[in-house]
Amino acid sequence: MSTPAADQKPPEAVTLLLVRHGMTEETGPRLAGRAEGVHLNDTGRTQAAHLAGRLTGVVPAALISSPLERCWQTMEAVAEQLETKITVDERFIECDYGTWTGRDLTELATEPLWNVVQNHPSAVRFPEGEALAASSARALEAVRDWNTRLLQEGPSTPPVYVVCSHGDIIRAIVADALGMHLDMFQRLRVDPGSITSITYTRSRPFLNTLNDTGEHLATTLPTPAETQGEAVVGGGAGSSERTNGQT
């Protein structure tokens, strides 16, 4: 691992861009989970291409993907656009839904465990699968490892890195950044092909954008004040001020 030069200050913040993979034929009607062979459909490929265009101009310190095909395929378009290689981190894989994997959501909604998933997810362990709390913990461990690595490596310009993962994983990371209990993460919406941006300073995280499926990425990056750990007084101004001095 490299370290900043003696005359170069380490960065004071790092920004994580969380990307949910594009649409698949399983997205919506069934719980794909860790099933193999789930690929982007035509809509998902369009979303991936659109995502790559939106990220034009970003110089990522790393492009990271869940090992599942739908995430890798989403990131391929981004990697080609930004001319950056993809790194797989197993800790960003989807929750292991056990025997629920591949089943229709309408069918799962009749299971007694469904109401627990909706209202008390921190207590859920899927049959023959993983606990939602455990999937949250491993993903957060990965985020903190990457944050530490990038803050130590420099350069002094706050680095940006991109992670492509899954809806429940992204919501768990956002809930942690907001100081929300995991039981509240179902209130967060993360659509296929969306970008969620979090800046981690040395004092606190800032949620810049949640579930952004728009045309321009500028508002997902932090203001200079936010990279120093300072909250915007009064909730901040409009996008014209937020993008001042940003690329």
**Whole-structure pTM value:** 0.84
Taking 80 as the threshold, does the pLDDT of residue 80 lie above it? yes
pLDDT digits (tens, 9 = 90+) for 122-181: 999 999 999 999 999 999 999 999 999 998 876 657 899 999 999 999 999 999 999 999
Q: Are 180 and 186 in contact (CB under 8 A)?
A: no
Which has more pLDDT, 167 or 242? Answer: 167
Residue 18 burial by CB count (10 A; 0-12/13-18/19+): exposed, middle or buried? buried
Please state the φ and ψ torsions of residue 227, each to the nearest 5 degrees: -70, -15
Sequence-distant (≥ 6) Cβ neighbours of residue 67 within 8 angstroms: 88, 90, 93
What's the average model confidence in pLDDT over 109-130? 94
pLDDT band for position 203 (cuts 50, 70, 90): confident
Taking 80 as the threshold, does the pLDDT of residue 50 lie above it? yes
Q: Which of 9-23, 109-123, 196-210, 220-234 has the lowest mean pLDDT?
A: 220-234
Q: According to the model, what pLDDT value does residue 221 have?
A: 54
Q: Are 69 and 37 in contact (CB under 8 A)?
A: yes
